[in-house]
Structures are given as C-alpha cells and as structure tokens.
Chain A
Amino acid sequence: MDGVASASPREVVDLAAAGVRSLNALLHERAGPFPSVEVLHPMGQHNVAVGAVRAFRVEIRGHVGYYAAAMNQEASIHIHGNAGKGLAENIMSGEVQVFGNASDAVAASGHGGLVVVHGDAASRCGISMKGVDIVVGGSIGHLGAFMAQAGTMVVAGDAGSALGDSLYEAVIYVGGRIESLGEDAREEPMTAVDRERVAGLLARARLSPPLPNVERFKRIASARSLYHWHAGQNRIHG
C-alpha cells in the first residue's frame, strides 16, 4: 500500500470512509514503524483488523462483525464493542481483547497468543484451539472448547452444555456453574499449579475488578478415552 512505509506512529482509520481492506493492508506491512491505529465506525463489518503481522496496537471503537482480528500475529487489538462469529480465528500470537460480548467460535483453532472477552461468549468458544489462551469474564454457551487440542481456557462465569466435548490436551477452568460436560471431558482436582495458572491468566487478562476468587475454579481436562480406536472394544459412547 502506498505511503505505509512512512506511516506515522499514530493512524486513524475511519471505516465509514476507508474500507476494511485499506486497514488490513496497513496491518500486513512487514516494514516501517509500528503505528498505533485507531479504527472508527466499524459498523459491524466483517474481517476488521485481520492478518496483522507485527506488534501494532489497534483500538477499534464500536461493534465488529465476523472474523475480527483473525490470524493475528504479534498485534495487540482492543475492540470496544461486541464481536461477531470467529473472533481471533486462528490467532498465532499477540493479544485480542473485547470489551463487550463475542458471538460463536471465539479463537477457533487459535495457535497462540491471548484472547480476552470481558463480557459473555456464545457457543463453541475455543473450538479446536491449538495453543491459544482464552479468558472470558462472563459466561460461555454450549460446546465450549469442542475438540480443543492445546492451550488454556479460563471462564469466570458459567459454561453451557457439552463443555469440552472430545477434548485433547487443552485444559479448561470454570469459575461458575457447568451445565454439562461433553464426551470424554472430566473434572479433575485443582492443584497449586492450576491455581497459579488461573491467577496468572486472570492477571494477564486485566479483567475489571473484582476478580473472581481462584479457589472457586474447577479444572476440566480430557479423560483420554477417545484418543485411540480400540479395535475389538468398539462401543457407542454416551
């Protein structure tokens, strides 16, 4: 994109005028300064601030649509509003914070970094997560951490039905009530290491006080009975 090499340390992108592609092109630039970008009037558009490749700081003022901050690398993206489906999908690194609610599939298949939803997240939060850490200040919907492979999810509020269905090695901590666990997910005792992990993530997430008491959290992890196909022991689960 012309002019990006000389981008000033502070950019304001008004999406009502500029369009999502010009914002994303700016965030795809591998050279030049690290501008701090303020995004105005997102109006629920999709693909806002997708594919950032460096440690930009992006402040988005308003609600965003699908796949906001997806495929993020290094950038710190703050959304001052609600987010649609697929927030921070396939995030690799960096940090995405939503000061509002998020729709389905938060951080789906995320490999790394931190995703924080200060309000509630809908269904399939953390589906197929592969190393990302997720903190939800409110509650999550059904099928949270479905097929989650690696990483940690901390939910300060309640979790909907079928939490952790077909879990691999991701670990879930829930501070509130769990409607039901999914297939092959089980509650395990909290250890000092778990409490440290939860406290560390809550601190990194910078949730508004009062922070939930770490002692309240339950640890949910895989029972590992779905890992292998046991020939001769085939059975229908559930």
Chain B
Amino acid sequence: MCGIVGLLLRRAELRPALGELIVPMFECMAERGPDSAGVAVFSEPSSAELCKASLYASSETYDWPALERRMASDFGTAIRMQAHGNHALFVLPREEGVREWLRAHAPGVRLLSVGAAIEVWKDEGNPRAILKKYGFSKFEGSHAIGHTRMATESRVSPAHAHPYTAGRDFCLVHNGSLSNPYMLRRKLEAAGVPFETDNDTEAACRYLEWRLSQGDDLEHAIGHAFVDLDGFYTLLIGTRHHMTLVRDPVACKPAVVAETDDYVAVASEFRSLSHLPGIENARLFEPLPARIYSWTA
C-alpha cells in the first residue's frame, strides 16, 4: 500500500499555514502506511541562507550543538540550527563540501537532503506520532511532499522511509513496487551514482535525478522512466519550484488531485483531501495513466 500526500500553495499568504493544512492529510493516510512517515518541505530561503542540510542521527540524544561547533570551526558558522531529537536542520553559509565534511567528521550522521529550499523529516513509527514528534503542523513553505509507508519489500528503518532525495532540492515519494530496481541500480552505480539503501524507490529517485544531471528536463526524464522503470508506481516528485505527479501506464496505484485558486493537493485517496478548506468547490480528478502533471510553486 503506502499513502502519498502533496500540497502546493498558490498564494504566498497561505505559506505559514502549510503545516496545519498537511497534518490532517497525513493523519488520514496513516492507515495506508502505518510503519513510517516523512515529509519534504520546500520554502524559499532568505537571501543569506545559501544551503539547507537536513541531518539524521540514530541517537535521540545526539549532541547537535557540538556538531554545530565542529562545523563552525572547519566549515563556517551555521546561520541557523534547529534540532528535534535525532533530526536537525542546519542552514549553512555554503553548500560545497557539506556531504564530504559530514562523511569525514560525523560518520554516524546521515544527510537526508541538501539544497536551497528543501528540508526533510522522516522516521519509522506510526505517522501520527512522527508528525507530532517533529511538529509538522508548524512547517511553513510553498509546497510539501509527504508519504506514509507500508513496507512491501526492503525493511522498515528511518533510512527506508520516504521521501527519498538525490542531488539537491529533489525528492520523490512512491506508492507501488518496482520489479527491476537492482538492474537500475547496477547501471547507475556503474555510472558513479552512490546508493544508501536497498530500497526500490531509491533506485527510481536516483534514476530520475541522474537523468536530470545528464541534461534532461523532468518531463524527458520521466519519459525515459516509462521505458526503464518496470513495475507499479504513483510517484510524487518535489523540486524547488515544482510538484510533479505521474502514474505508471497500468495505473493500479491510486491518486486524486484537488485544485483550487489557493492550492493543488494530491493524495492517494480523497478522504485525505476532504478536510481542506474550499474542497467542496475544488476541481477533483484522477490523474490518467502515463501522463505527467506538474504544478509551479
């Protein structure tokens, strides 16, 4: 199963309410994905904020202020640091070398996402508990891409929760299962693309981002994915300025879209959208198979 939620706000004045609006969407999807949950929130940085890095440590009591001090001496003073147990968001003066610095100096810490606008919070456990723990209701931003997971292939762990990220300001959530993730992975690893888990969604995520890095735009990258990805998928993709939705040509994994002048909302099932303001007058539709839907934030 798995549940997908996405919300893109079309009016800037609604951005402070992004978190409040997505929480009921998540709560509904907890039934489709009771073992893990996560969200990528995109918010445009103030001009000084050059890089956001979302970090994860396996320990709830990880000493984030100590890491901040070590980063400051080696890398530059963090503009902002926000810690929640085993997660932390660092806003850094520069991005170059962040990944390498962490690998060398903080081997127990994983980089969940990096970019100008993206931040990621994800963990294993009941989605309702996760969204409380990390304060999803307080999130602000232009769009959010979320997921509740019911694992059907690789194991349940914080690293296996969605969203998956690759490159910068890029994330993907997936409902479905791929039958050729290892084939994709072997090709990508031969091209120098690193993997962090054995999850099928990670293969799709890294595949699409690799195509982007080779010069495709997202539409062309997805066009190649229709050929190269074998299996079932509804994918919701977040980039700095876009939210993009696609279902495989067989389309047995669901999605419903609601559009109003204020927002575009996507969920696996309508009940996740039923609490949104103005939903009674929204344009509701199911995305067609093998059709790319993209909205600009």
Contacts and interface: CB of A to CB of B under 8 A. Distances in A.
B62 interface: no
Nearest to A41: B274
A84 B270 contact: yes
B252 A104 contact: yes
Given A82-B284, A103-B286, A122-B286, A44 B270 contact: yes
A142 interface: yes
A90 interface: no
Contact of A45 (B252, B271, B286): B271
B194 interface: no
A63 B281 CA distance: 12
Given A82-B284, A104-B252, A63 B289 contact: no
Nearest to B273: A44
Interface residues of B, number: 15
A116 B45 CA distance: 51
B129 to A, nearest CB: 23
Given A103-B286, A123-B289, A63 B274 contact: yes
A43 interface: yes
B284 A123 contact: no
A44 B284 contact: no
A104 B232 CA distance: 15
Nearest to B290: A142
B269 to A, nearest CB: 6
Interface in A69-105: 82, 84-85, 101, 103-104
A63 B286 CA distance: 14
A226 B270 CA distance: 38
Contacts of A44: 269-274
A204 to B, nearest CB: 27
B254 interface: yes
Interface string A152-166: 000000000000000
Interface residues of A, number: 17
Interface string A125-155: 0000000000000000110000000000000
Interface in B173-205: none
A45 B272 CA distance: 10
Contacts of B71: none
B251 interface: yes
Interface string B278-296: 0000001110110000000
Contacts of B252: 104, 123
A112 interface: no
B188 to A, nearest CB: 31
Contacts of B251: 104, 122-123, 141-142
A65 interface: yes
Nearest to A66: B269
Contact of A65 (B270, B284, B285): B270
B289 A82 contact: no
Nearest to A100: B284
B269 A65 contact: yes
CB-CB nearest 10 A-B residue pairs: A44-B271, A44-B270, A43-B274, A44-B274, A63-B270, A65-B271, A122-B286, A123-B251, A43-B271, A45-B271
9 contacts: A46-B271, A63-B270, A63-B284, A82-B270, A84-B270, A101-B284, A101-B286, A122-B286, A123-B289
Interface of A: 43-46, 63, 65-66, 82, 84-85, 101, 103-104, 122-123, 141-142
Given A44-B274, A84-B254, A123-B289, 15 more contacts: A43-B271, A43-B275, A44-B269, A44-B273, A45-B271, A63-B270, A63-B274, A65-B269, A65-B271, A66-B269, A82-B270, A84-B269, A104-B251, A104-B252, A142-B251
